[in-house]
Amino acid sequence: MAEHGAHITTASVADDQPSIFEVVAQDSLMTAVRPALQHVVKVLAESNPAHYGFFWRWFDEIFTLLDFLLQQHYLSRTSASFSEHFYGLKRIVAGSSPQLQRLASAGLPREHLWKSAMFLVLLPYLKVKLERLASSLREEDEYSIHPPSSHWKRFYRAFLAAYPFVNMAWEGWFLIQQLRYILGKAEHHSPLLKLAGVRLGRLTAQDMQAIEHRLAEGSAVQEPVRSFGEKIKSALKKAAGGVALSLSTGLSVGVFFLQFLDWWYSSENQEAIKSLTALPTPPPPVHLDYNSDSPLLPKMKTVCPLCRKTRVNDTVLATSGYVFCYRCVFNYVRSHQACPITGYPTEVQHLIKLYSPEN
């Protein structure tokens, strides 16, 4: 039994395969970065919606663009993603003999580089969007936002029924691959590495020296530029490299802080945190004066500020406290991710339906 489990903590000398703990740790690093940065952006957007609301509404796209620049920078210069390089790992073309393996400083071949970038950046972005779509459709189906005659009703009902099983099969595929990796039956801990045609290995002393030498050369040597087109290409390349370098430096310095934020806001610690930071319930706020001249607020308390009609299916927005028709505020929040009155960043889960004794 000890012989079969020895490779879990120590890599084989022949292929220098990293342990399961190393590969899982590097996978969890970028997984922790995203929610931590998202929380920072959310705090900024709530403090100043006019200036930072744009970053909250387009967070997924901005994060994906910056993540692509970061990963492309590392894949082309260290043959590894940011998190893999942070843990001293590199990507090796599958099937290549040790004698023909390139140094990590040479970067991945173009085909394997773009495959790796697609699986590292594009696939997580699509997965996040798909999860949000499923959540939105589930909310619409629960509260019957779409009329029964909608042409999409049959489609999204089938999608909602199939999505949990597809997601379970996806996660099961990764779990089985990790179990095979632990038992020494596979050289990839993730099926995406196999699809990209690469495997993970440890950086050697020669790799580290070559990477340091390339960084020193890049800062000291200036290549001559001949034409205007080459000048533009060189300037864009330097700008992208500068952004990627700034991101990598910032993440390298703040990675432990981001891990702490991920732990602090994880669901497992919320109960303990609430018990430590519990404060007495504050008194209810004083009601606003509805005689205000603001054109956004109706004069009558029973009128929806969006449709200007008597409210139907009253729903309060938890971020601001204003009450609307459910259909009106649901469609508005889903489209703008903000409160119609205050502009505070808002999501669909902040909608709370109100039930009166008459209903």
| CA separation for the pair 337, 228 (Å, rounded) | 43
Q: How far is CA 24 from the centre of its chain?
A: 17
User: Hey, what are 76's tokens?
Assistant: 């082309």
| CA separation for the pair 199, 76 (Å, rounded) | 16
Q: pLDDT tens for residues 61-92? A: 999 998 898 888 888 888 888 888 888 889 98
Provide, rounded to the nearest whole percent, the portion of the chain with pLDDT above 70: 67
Place of tokens 């504050």: 282
Half-sphere exposure of 15 (CA within 13 A, CB side): 17
3-state helix, strand, coil in the chain (%, to 5): 60, 5, 30
55 forms beta bridges with none
Q: pLDDT tens for residues 319-328? A: 888 899 988 9
pLDDT at 176 over 90: yes
The answer to whether the CB of 315 falls within 8 A of the CB of 308 is no
pLDDT at 186 over 60: yes
Q: What torsion do the CA atoms of 342, 347, 350, 354 make, to the nearest 10 degrees?
A: 80
| CA separation for the pair 42, 359 (Å, rounded) | 36
What do you get for the CA distance between the two ends of the chain, in Å? 65
Q: pLDDT tens for residues 261-302? A: 666 655 555 555 555 555 555 555 444 444 445 556 777 778
Report the pLDDT value the prediction gives residue 102, as an integer from 0 to 100: 78
- pLDDT band for position 123 (50/70/90)? very high
Phi, psi for 36 (deg, rounded to 5):
-65, -45
* Report for 5-19, 97-111, 199-213: range of highest mean pLDDT: 199-213
Q: Is 116 exposed, middle or buried (0-12, 13-18, 19+ CB in 10 A)?
A: buried
